[in-house]
Chains A and B, each alone.
Chain A
Amino acid sequence: MSETFDFTLDGATVTAQSGETIMQAADRAGIYIPRLCAHKELHPFGACRICTVLVNGRPQSSCTQPAAPGIVVENDTEALRNVRKSLVEMLFVEGNHYCMFCEKSGLCELQALGYRFGLLAPRYPYQFPKREMDASHPDIFVDRNRCVQCARCVRASRELDHKTVFEFSGRGAHKAIAVNADARLADTDVNGTDRAIDVCPVGCLLRKRYGFRTPIGQRKYDHQPIGSDIEAGHPPAAVNG
């Protein structure tokens, strides 16, 4: 049996097990910390910083920061909500996100964060970058216009599929998802059933011939904000006891 200890999250006492991150402990306690690159089946990566919390006053990404006894964590504050919203805005202006014809619309985690934060227009100018697409594979599209560089596909290909299909290339503004072949996804050992495709939070990696299967009005985020499952599954009231 692992050791447990308490810390404070937005004034509530949360019990963590040793080795847990702040996000994992918060999830079990029914407190949602917004996130984009974090995925429960993958090792934490700390790419998007949307899960930033203040730990004893210092900003940390809660997906990578281990919980520790007695720390005081701030999550749902006006300042942090603003930071997270501005990060989502930057992701929207740095890519080419056309929700109106995207197959992932209604199921997209970036869009769902925008909805949850009540994002109506970004405060930054749109960049309209030129990004490459790859439709070479018979079963999978890569549309880098929508990539948010969360590295979920990179991690899932290694950790879940035991392959190395995806990796980053370039640095800074030139960073992009690359495939483990000279140029085309079709020349890799990726398979249409790979978990790396499922975990894409946006419409960058898509299975062909699956688009728009769920009617508008029945999609995951049409009625319930992202994170409601965490908040509903574990009522926060149980945390304090």
Chain B
Amino acid sequence: MAAKPKVATASLAGCFGCHMSILDIDERILDLIELIDFDKSPIDDLKEFTGRCAIGLIEGGCCNEENVRNLIEFRKHCDLLISVGECAICGGIPALRNTLPLQECFDEAYKHGPTVYNPSGQYPNDPDLPLILNKVYPCHEVVKIDYHLQGCPPSADTIWAALTALLTGKPVQLPYELIKYD
């Protein structure tokens, strides 16, 4: 029996809502695992790629350098890369900071916010923390993205329709009611 195609997923600057929506395909997940194996993904907790993947699902945009590295790694390992949800496509809620200077965001988060207690006034600066980017970037402004699934999150039906079409070699043609931006 030929090996099943692999699907990898990642949550970058997202809320994991899109991953919840993947799980929201309910019992169809039994059909899905007949079709695919999960590779690097929070769903099976695999931290590294084990081989070439047919599809990579990206939730969230890029808000720090780790997101960018992760996204580039997904692009290298996946034949098709899909932006899943508003944050991956337009930056989403994290991109609300894009109209403010980064300094102002840091000051609000670590100095002047109403619940902040930080007498030394220090910003978190552990070398293990990924550096934050000047703006939150949509994924397609960082690497080539092949498909976009809109929604916050995209409905389970939308994700299911796209995945089953791609895995059976058909074009993704979403009906009117499966394209929603909210």
A126 within 8 A of B: yes
| Candidates B93, B96, B140, B179; contact of A115 at CB < 8 Å | B179
B148 within 8 A of A: yes
Measured between C-beta atoms, what is the minimum distance from B163 to chain A in Å? Answer: 16
Q: Give the A-B pair count, Cβ closer than 8 A.
A: 69
Measured between C-beta atoms, what is the minimum distance from A231 to chain B in Å? Answer: 13
Measured between C-beta atoms, what is the minimum distance from A70 to chain B in Å? Answer: 36
A99 within 8 A of B: yes
B176 within 8 A of A: yes
Do B135 and A128 touch across chains, with their CB atoms under 8 A apart? yes
Do B179 and A118 touch across chains, with their CB atoms under 8 A apart? yes
Binds A, one of B33-41, B52-60, B84-92, B120-128: B84-92
Number of interface residues of A (CB under 8 A): 29
Question: What chain B residues lie within 8 Å of A97 (beta carbons)?
Answer: 90
Do B177 and A105 touch across chains, with their CB atoms under 8 A apart? no
| Candidates A100, A116, A125, A128; contact of B92 at CB < 8 Å | A100
Question: What chain A residues lie within 8 Å of B138 (beta carbons)?
Answer: 121, 126
Identify which of residues 88-118 in chain A touch chain B, using a CB-to-CB cut-off of 8 Å: 92, 96-102, 105-106, 111, 114-116, 118
Question: What chain B residues lie within 8 Å of A128 (beta carbons)?
Answer: 91, 95, 98-99, 135
| Candidates A111, A125, A131; contact of B181 at CB < 8 Å | A111
Question: What chain A residues lie within 8 Å of B148 (beta carbons)?
Answer: 120-121
Do B182 and A126 touch across chains, with their CB atoms under 8 A apart? no
- Interface 0/1 of A176-215, CB less than 8 Å to B: 0000000000000000000000000000000000000000
A11 within 8 A of B: no
Minimum CB distance partner of A223 in chain B: B177
Measured between C-beta atoms, what is the minimum distance from B121 to chain A in Å? Answer: 27
Q: How far is the CA of A193 from the CA of B152 in the complex (A)?
A: 32
Identify which of residues 155-182 in chain B touch chain A, using a CB-to-CB cut-off of 8 Å: 174, 176-177, 179-182
A225 within 8 A of B: yes
Do A99 and B86 touch across chains, with their CB atoms under 8 A apart? yes
Most chain B beta-carbon contacts within 10 A, residue among A101, A105, A120: A120
Given A121-B148, A129-B99: A105 in contact with B181 (beta carbons within 8 A): yes
A41 within 8 A of B: no
Q: How far is the CA of A126 from the CA of B141 in the complex (A)?
A: 9
Q: How far is the CA of A34 from the CA of B179 in the complex (A)?
A: 18
B150 within 8 A of A: yes
Do A102 and B180 touch across chains, with their CB atoms under 8 A apart? no
A40 within 8 A of B: no
Q: A-side interface residues toward B, CB under 8 Å?
A: 92, 96-102, 105-106, 111, 114-116, 118-122, 125-126, 128-131, 216, 222-223, 225
Q: Which 10 A-B pairs have the closest CB atoms?
A: A100-B152, A99-B181, A128-B98, A120-B148, A121-B148, A105-B182, A130-B99, A99-B182, A100-B182, A121-B89
